[in-house]
Structure 1
Amino acid sequence: MRKILVTGGAGMIGSNLIKRLIKQGDEIYVIDNLWRGKLEYLQDDRGNDIIPLKTHFYDRDLSISGQCDDLLSKVEYVIHLADIVAGIDYVFNNQGDIFRQNILINSNVIASARKYGKHLKGFLYVGTACSFPLTRQNSLEVIPLREEELYPAMPESAYGWSKLMGQYEVDLLGKETEIPTCTLMFHNVYGAPCDFGNRSQVIPALIRKAVNYPNEKFEVWGSGEQGRAFIHVNDIVEALVLALDKGWNHGPIQIGPSICTSIKEIAEMIVKISGKDISIFYDTTRPEGDKARSADFSKAKRILGWEPRVNLEKGIRLQYEWIEKQIKESK
């Protein structure tokens, strides 16, 4: 039985990961300030808590220093998922705050590990494909990204910069201590449970609009030609579990598919799943973000034995059913 601290553990990725680790017999401690996560995500299908919330869940703000100092003596591993992230509207309208908050969150958690975690068997950091240079993501002619292309650095967004700085500080932690480190760089993760409100990312936002249509306009931001490498949360959890065993001290490892799917294709897929006669409106006055990206996941395959397995349409169908159920139950 491993003892593991998961920051941001009440979110989509964290809650799914914890359920998997609990099944494997691990003891899990969670820090989450519930900005996007929810305590109900840490329950099973019958409404039972999957961890003892009174003793293993901590509602704390990691942008304040020292918030995980007391927990490091209790655990052997840290999986650092916590950050401030949301849909493109929120990200580009709050860049300064996102940058500052993520720098504080990452630096505080890493500083605590440096000071109180010398016994740790591993510190696993979650980065993002948004940290890759804009120059490699500003064309619709997609060549899968490779880890060695991270520098010279030129992320498009403050979010990408903040996550890259956290990744750099994790590298320093690994070089200057005996703590094994691992960085997984996630592409665009989707799945349930998830935030599908005004701060949500593209797939849940479009699903919400389809479920609510015609009472809510089915509006797609940008031309729809922009694309991303979408990866289901189940594939992400598999990567994290494999990394706990095999990912230490190999530098950054991308987790995402080699296929770039346009937002237009996603929108059309969601309309098909909805079974409704929906008119898609593309608002080209809205921001699109990076033009397109996909992952060369050969490093993940070589080191972790990982590759994406969840079919995109099947994964989106499952997420559609979950969001539709949430909306119906809330009425």
Structure 2
Amino acid sequence: MKKRVLITGAAGFLGSHLCDRFIQEGYSVIGMDNLITGDLKNLEHLFPHPDFEFYHHDVTKYIHISGRLDYILHFASPASPIDYMRIPIQTLKVGAMGTHNCLGLAKAKGARILVASTSEVYGDPLVHPQSEEYWGNVNPVGPRGVYDEAKRYLESITMAYHSFHKVDTRIVRIFNTYGPRMRLNDGRALPTFIGQALRGENITVFGDGSQTRSFCYVSDLVEGIYRLLLSDYVYPINIGNPDEITLKDFAEEILKLTGNTVKIVFKPLPPEDPKQRKPDITKARTILNWEPTVSRAEGLRKTYEYFKSLPPEEWYKQPKEFQSRQE
């Protein structure tokens, strides 16, 4: 029988690519999303597939899946600052209640579960590069605390279910990832820079641009997640590309790629914006035999071609408006 996998956050950027991968690998896939930040356009190519089902559901509510379930990948969560600062309570709830519900489902089904954590658990790091042993430098009541602490709680409850209930768990710490199906105006550097270039606007860099990021192409990330799921390693593991670049240099790469002649303008740095971000992927290399293979030049070209192919109205599309009332 085909193995059956549930992927939460399936209509999002990463979730939809994971659905593609598991369909390609011959799994029966259930995609689940409440569409608060996800978009069904990311999944519509899978709707005719006999091995794909979609459940429109909020994972902070009780999750019912009939029949056997072999794997759960919990990727439901706002992932960009523009989202989690507008919907802070939902962000906390999906990290806490949503993870709790997914773990409970894994326990009931005897399924292996992989949960999506993030490099944000390291906060504004005092250690560089960041290894899994670093505990982080996080302000729980700061502007990014709702996302940072949601993911730190996600890791804690996952390990508790592993230790106390013997649930078969995996934890991936995802560093900056990019590729097709990102939203142009989600507040993250790469889609923001490309969106501004497409619209002929000046590219906005916060601070002096000396802060660094390390960008991983989505196919590399999906490969790392797939290997982690099928491995025997239960502790957090970094998946990302250690090729570090300053945001000023990155903006210049985007300008060169797009052939645009707009300027780079500098604005004040948001509070608690991480100054450095680079994964130590020693564990991924040794345990999973994984490392990224797509160069930034190749990945940026593919991503730019995707964004450029979108209807021009998508270039100007504003972020989703969320409910003002948060329960």
TM-score range, shorter chain: 0.7 to 0.9
Contact persistence 1:124–1:183 (CA under 8 A):
yes
Q: Aligned to 2:65, which of 35, 49, 70? A: 70
**1:93: how far off?**
5.8
Once the 2 structures are TM-superposed, how far is the Cα of residue 299 of structure 1 from its aligned partner?
A: 0.4
Contact 2:60/2:94 (8 A) holds in 1? yes
Alignment of 1:112-191 (within 5 A): 112-114=105-107, 116-117=108-109, 119-120=110-111, 122-136=112-126, 143-150=128-135, 157-158=144-145, 159-191=147-179
Instruction: Answer yes or no: is 1:225 the counterpart of 2:206.
Output: no
Q: Is the 8 A contact 1:300 1:307 kept in 2?
A: yes
**2:202 is the counterpart of 1:209:** no
Partner deviation per Cα, 1:50-104 (whole Å, 9 max, x = no partner) = 6459x7100111122x1x2334x43111011111222x34445654553344322
Q: Which runs of 5+ in 2 are unaligned?
A: 316-327
Q: 1:34 maps to which residue?
A: 35
Residue range with higher mean Cα deviation, 218-227 or 74-83: 218-227
> What is the identity percentage for the equivalent residue pairs of Structure 1 and Structure 2?
26
Alignment length (residue pairs)? 311
The equivalent of 1:267 in structure 2 is 251
Shift of 1:316: 1.4
Residues 1:253 and 2:250 are matched in the alignment: no
- Cα distance in 2 for partners of 1:110, 1:82 equals 13
**Equivalent residue number for residue 99 of structure 2:** 106
Residue number in structure 2 paired with 1:81: 75
Partner Cα distance (1:160, 1:5) in 2: 24
Q: Letter of the aligned partner of 2:15 in structure 1?
A: G
Which amino acid in structure 1 is aligned with residue 307 of structure 2? I
The answer on whether the counterparts of 1:36 and 1:195 sit within 8 Å (CA) in structure 2 is: no
**1:299 corresponds to which of 283, 292, 303:** 283
Provide the C-alpha distance between the structure 2 equivalents of 1:30 and 1:15, rounded to a whole number of angstroms: 8
2:296 partner letter: L
2:222 and 2:65 map into 1 onto residues whose CA distance is 27
Q: Per the alignment, in what secondary structure is the counterpart of residue 126 of structure 1?
A: strand
Q: Distance in 2 between matches of 1:251 and 1:299?
A: 10
* Alpha-carbon distance in 1 for matches of 2:137, 2:264: 39
Which ranges of structure 1 fall in alignment gaps of 5 or more residues?
A: 138-142
* CA distance in 1: counterparts of 2:248 and 2:234, whole angstroms: 36
Q: TM-score, normalised by structure 2?
A: 0.87
Change (3 A) 1:42 1:206: same
Q: Please provide the CA RMSD for this pair.
A: 2.4
1: CA distance, partners of 2:25 / 2:94: 33
Task: Report the alpha carbon displacement of residue 269 of structure 1 after superposing the two structures with TM.
Answer: 0.8
Please say if residues 19 and 31 of structure 2, whose CA atoms lie closer than 8 Å, have aligned partners that are also in contact: no
CA 1:228–1:25 in 2, change beyond 3 Å: closer, same or farther?
same
